[in-house]
Amino acid sequence: MKKNFFILVLGLVFAMLACTKKEIEVLNSSQKVSVESLDNYVVFGYVGLGWGCRSSVIYMVSNNKIYADTSKTFCNDQENYTFTGYQLPESEYNKVKDIVSAFPAELAKEESKTFGCPGCADGGMLYLQYKKKGVSLKTWRIDDAVFYRDSDVLNNPFPTYLAKYGQSLGKVITSLKY
């Protein structure tokens, strides 16, 4: 019994040593945020829809910071989803800052809507929310084919600005570490 306890304690010590100081700070971060307290932000993430909703991580960028929502609550009530997450390190923000500044003005002018066929052929979607002070919240659901081609799974073309932005955003999403 003492031997098993010693091995368990030793394993925990090694696991803690394997984390860098920054990783421990992020995991234990009390700096959480909810969109309800913000005027300007962009929320984005990949959500798998085929064979049931599978949200992985949804990100939010606001005030030169990036946050991650790993709660998987998006699938519980997609229509009333509200981002709540924790802050990621500045190194992760540096990966998305160009994507945020390149947010297509044409898309910002669009009303909330769906582009393509999210969930068709067991695919997923790019989920986007955009909030600017004084302007109503806008939400778009975009076929995940936007990450790698110019048309959705039914071969309906995306607007040119959206295809370009989606492909850039797809690369960034896969590079983020939460």
pLDDT in tens, 46-105: 988 766 777 778 999 999 999 999 888 888 888 888 888 999 999 999 999 998 899 999
> CA distances (Å), 38 to each of 60, 96, 171, in order?
11, 19, 26
Same domain as 75, residue 56: yes
21 shares a domain with 41: no
pTM as predicted: 0.77
Which of the pair, 114 or 36, is modelled with greater confidence?
114
Closest alpha carbon to 130 in 95, 169, 104: 104
The mean-pLDDT minimum among 27-41, 82-96, 133-147 falls in 27-41
Total of domains in the chain: 2
> Is residue 15 domain-shared with residue 43, that is, in the same domain?
no
The distance from CA 165 to its chain's CA centroid, rounded to whole angstroms, is 15
Q: Same domain, yes or no, for 115 and 129?
A: yes
Closest by Cα among 70, 56, 62 to 100: 62
What does the pLDDT average to over 122-143? 90
Same domain, 59 and 125: yes
**Co-location of 87 and 16 in the same domain:** no
The pLDDT of residue 23: 37
In this structure, the answer to whether residues 43 and 99 fall within a common structural domain is yes
Looking at the structure, tell me whether residues 52 and 104 fall in a common domain: yes
Same domain for 39 and 26: no
Q: Are residues 3 and 47 in the same domain?
A: no
β-bridge pairing 113-115 and 32-34: unpaired
Nearest Cα to Cα of residue 52 among 153, 144, 142, 122: 122
Domain ranges, residue 166: 32-175
Cβ contact 132:139 at 8 Å: no
End-to-end CA distance of the chain: 37
- Region 40-50: what's the mean pLDDT? 88
